[in-house]
Structure 1
């Protein structure tokens, strides 16, 4: 399939981490890309590199998705430029670490807006566009934190649980359409997440389980194109999620609190 016959993929949070690695993975496969993140400089550098290395079409939009009308502005940008979007990857997100009662409410609400509302908004706004393709995909990036409560990451884990539940329901609703919906839930990945979350005290037990963003991206893209409903990458992460189902919640939460202790 030539690039001309392939629809655009829209990736949020494309300038760093998993989103950036997914951009490279799809570029290798010849997909034109719409790259969205806050940093115009980083997006421009990524766009230039992808065009040079893979000869694909790219367009960038530097925008803070946590502002209230950001999703509508993204949708308007797509329509004005008549981009045929066939893949939506809701990857943008961050965590706020610390005791909830001592953390900034503004920061927590901003995280909820990006991690939950934007996923809902972009999905709703882009489904009519995706539906125009013979085969389309939505890939929502959640986390293994979605499967348990995580003290000191209380709102983050709850937000990712929302993404997981929303994706499951949306997949069912769209099952008779051309749109396949996948939830991908990685565990710790070697990205800038810990620094952004303020996890300066992240201990070595958590760090040693980090996966690399490139390998995670490959697994995410494969899961999406395979039309998987829900994928957890890595045997350790799969075992961890399974343990959450059979072990007492109090034990799981105490263990999680020990990993992400203040």
Structure 2
């Protein structure tokens, strides 16, 4: 497929108020002239993004405050996004994680993770991809994670959700291969965003550590993959090397080494019965 030209066209981004989503919105507006539909929970940050991008780059920004865990939210987002405009690109970037033992995670946190990382991705993908197919062109990008390439103790649920996203995205890409619609799965490693602190991962990792990529650097690679309509993109030489090793090394070894990497940041033990 030829690269997408988003100049003067609308791109929807979930999780657009901070981190990777924010940096992708800035890049698409500044360097590609795209109008942005910015979706996130925090309306104040969306309004600040609108003022920033419209003032600096002369694009239009539609802020959509939304909670992806609420039933019916995907339908509402889609309806609001396509009202009076054609959406030509969608980046499903919103995600949450949890660092720690599964048995210590509140049930509500698990529900939030599954709704945000899995259910909303499927529902929004289905709706917007159907629009793209009808018009014969469009680009969809699902932000997964390298965690999705292998089971990950102490981020077990998160890794499972990202494994789902990788499988779903690549399967959907094949289904749509003759329609003019591209599906890109973007699988970064660690990124220096507020997710590190919100999840508790900052007990173990921090910005500047080996393998922790700055959000703006990661966003540039993501946007390039999105525009060029690549099916799978893993940013960074180290990450690509590790992704290859995950395929070649014994499964038990990978899980054991992953567990050892994360165990140092745990703050308490699971109570014994």
Per the normalisation by structure 2, the TM-score is 0.90
Unaligned runs of 5+ in 1: none
1:52-63 map, 5 Å: 52-63=55-66
Aligned residue among 128, 136, 161 for 2:163: 161
Where in structure 2 are the equivalents of 1:9-88 lying within 5 Å?
9-28=11-30, 29-79=32-82, 81-88=83-90
Q: CA deviation at 1:155?
A: 0.4
Contact 1:15 1:43 in 2 (8 A): yes
CA deviation map 1:77-134 (0-9, x unaligned): 124x322100010000010111001211210121011001111000111123223545
User: 1:65-144, aligned counterparts within 5 Å?
Assistant: 65-79=68-82, 81-144=83-146
CA contact (8 A) 2:151 2:255 kept: yes
Closer, same or farther: CA 117–136 of 1 in aligned 2, 3 Å: same
Given that residues 207 and 214 in structure 2 are in contact (C-alpha distance below 8 angstroms), is that contact kept between their aligned partners in structure 1? no
Give distance in 1, aligned partners of 2:184 and 2:205.
31
Q: 1:223 to 1:99 in 2, by over 3 A?
A: same
Aligned residue number for residue 174 of structure 1: 176
Backbone CA RMSD of aligned residues: 1.8
Q: Partners in 1 of 2:207 and 2:74 — Cα distance?
A: 37
1:239 match: 241
1:190 matched to 2:158: no
Check the 8 A contact 2:99/2:199 in 1, yes or no.
Answer: yes
Q: Contact (CA 8 Å) 2:97, 2:155: kept in 1 or not? A: yes
**Distance (Å, rounded) in 2 between the aligned partners of 1:19 and 1:100:** 27
DSSP 3-state at the match of 1:260: helix
Task: State the distance in 2 between where 1:191 and 1:219 align.
Answer: 16
Offset, 1:164: 0.2
8 Å contact kept, 2:206–2:212: no
Deviations 1:117-154 (A, max 9, x none): 11100011112322354531000000000101110100
Secondary structure, counterpart of 1:151 in structure 2: coil
Residue 223 of structure 1 corresponds to 225
Instruction: Check conservation: 2:169, 2:183, Cα contact below 8 A.
Output: yes
Deviation of 1:177 after TM superposition, in Å, equals: 0.6
Distance 1:205 1:256, change over 3 A: farther
Asked whether the equivalents of residues 207 and 213 of structure 2 are also in contact (C-alpha less than 8 Å), the reply is no
> Does the CA contact (< 8 Å) of 2:136 and 2:180 recur in 1?
yes
- Whole-Å separation in 2 of the counterparts to 1:16 and 1:205: 15
